[in-house]
DNA sequence: GCTCAATATTCGTTCTAGGGTATGTTTCCA
DNA sequence: TGGAAACATACCCTAGAACGAATATTGAGC
């Protein structure tokens, strides 16, 4: 019932202050969960880059990960403190229509061979 | 009617990611306006330190300043974009009862010779 | 004019976050 | 058991942020 994590405000804002991390979080707000290769493809960065920033989000407790075969799926933590969830929502509502966040989602939608997405031709 | 400033999300979060700047903003959310010496006293830092960080908040458009004699009074900008104001409010509500923000306000309340505050003994 | 108070800025230094690349780990499959 | 795919981590290096201290600016008062 209680949030499982405690997040210092300056830590939260430092996490959101980096464009790669913010873009990942915005994508993860649009979608229930995404794997690293999807985030990497959507953002257009190299895999270690995305992986490193996802690790920071994970260490802070903003996202959780689960393994399924070769893929590791990330999602926004379901046990965020209320005010953190509120900040994320406000931010998402404000920027989801702006660049580069719209493009990220467009690029993701056109990604071929996405894991978890059935390939019904 | 329209917000006078445009603030990039990463810029906002970078500003909030520094404790000095966040403490100033929280104090300025509690009080309509405060001068530099009040903020300096409340936070317990040296004057150039506070001044430098206030300058960053001002350049971003998060706060405005007005001169009155020797003092320069800062206040939270009245023309913030809605989502920025919402993020600030959520953050304030979440942390205003925590350290070091409560102590900052206590120290400020006990400050002698505050400008603008009538000295009715 | 001079002096003091409040604030801002500059300068040189230190420190940490981030980038690029290479390599390690885990899992699946043949 | 060997290889390939997906992801994580380590290493070295660099650029930018922040600090401390000194100095500049602005305004009030005499």
Outline where DSSP puts E strands in chain A: 34-35, 63-68, 71-76
B40-63 pLDDT per residue, tens: 999 999 999 999 999 999 999 999
Edge-to-edge strand list for the sheet holding B71-76: B34-35, B71-76, B63-68
B13-28 pLDDT per residue, tens: 999 999 999 999 999 9
Count of H-run helices and E-run strands, chain B:
6, 3
Radius of gyration of the CA atoms of chain A, in A: 14
Using the CB atom, is residue A10 less than 7 Å from strand C?
no
Q: How far apart are the first and last CA of chain B?
A: 43
Q: Is B95 on the interface with A (CB under 8 A)?
A: yes
Q: What is the spatial distance between Cα A21 and Cα A16, in angstroms, rounded to a whole number?
A: 6
Chain A residues inside the 8 Å CB shell of B19: 10
- Of B116, B102, B110, B100, give the one whose Cα is nearest residue B45: B100
Helix (H, G, I), strand (E, B) or coil at B120: coil
Q: What is the spatial distance between Cα B82 and Cα B2, in angstroms, rounded to a whole number?
A: 10
CB pairs under 8 A between A and B: 56
Residue B9 CB-density burial (10 A; 0-12 exposed, 13-18 middle, 19+ buried): buried
Residue A120 has pLDDT above 50, yes or no: no
Which CATH code fits B9-108? 1.10.10.10
Cβ atoms of A42 and A105 closer than 8 Å: yes
Interface confidence (ipTM) of the complex: 0.92
Quick one: how far is CA A7 from the chain centroid? 17
Choose from A94, A95, A98 for mutation: most chain B CBs within 10 A.
A94
Query: Residue A34's pLDDT is what?
Result: 98
Using the CB atom, is residue A17 less than 7 Å from strand C?
yes
What average pLDDT does the segment A23-29 reach? 98
B57-111 pLDDT per residue, tens: 999 999 999 999 999 999 999 999 999 999 999 999 999 999 999 999 999 999 9
Which CATH code fits A9-107? 1.10.10.10
Q: Which residues 49-88 of chain A have a CB under 7 Å from nucleic chain C?
A: 49, 52-53, 56, 67, 69-70
Segment among A1-15, A32-46, A58-72, B100-114 with least mean pLDDT: A1-15
Outline where DSSP puts E strands in chain B: 34-35, 63-68, 71-76
Closest-CA distance of chain A to residue B73, Å = 25
Q: Is B36 on the interface with A (CB under 8 A)?
A: no
Q: What is the pLDDT confidence band of residue A114, given thresholds at 50, 70 and 90?
A: very high
CA A105, C1' C21: Å apart?
Answer: 28
């Amino acid at each position: 019932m209680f949030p499982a994590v405690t997040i210092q405000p300056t830590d939260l804002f430092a996490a959101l202050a980096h464009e790669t991390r913010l873009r990942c979080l915005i994508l993860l707000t649009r979608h229930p969960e995404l794997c690293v290769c999807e985030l990497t493809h959507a953002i257009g960065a190299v895999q270690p880059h995305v992986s490193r920033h996802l690790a920071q989000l994970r260490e802070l407790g903003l996202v959780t990960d689960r393994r399924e075969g070769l893929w590791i799926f990330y999602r926004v933590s379901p046990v965020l403190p209320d005010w953190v969830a509120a900040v994320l929502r406000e931010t998402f509502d404000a920027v989801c229509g702006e660049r580069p966040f719209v493009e990220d989602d467009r690029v993701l939608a056109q990604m071929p061979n996405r894991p978890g997405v059935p390939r019904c031709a």
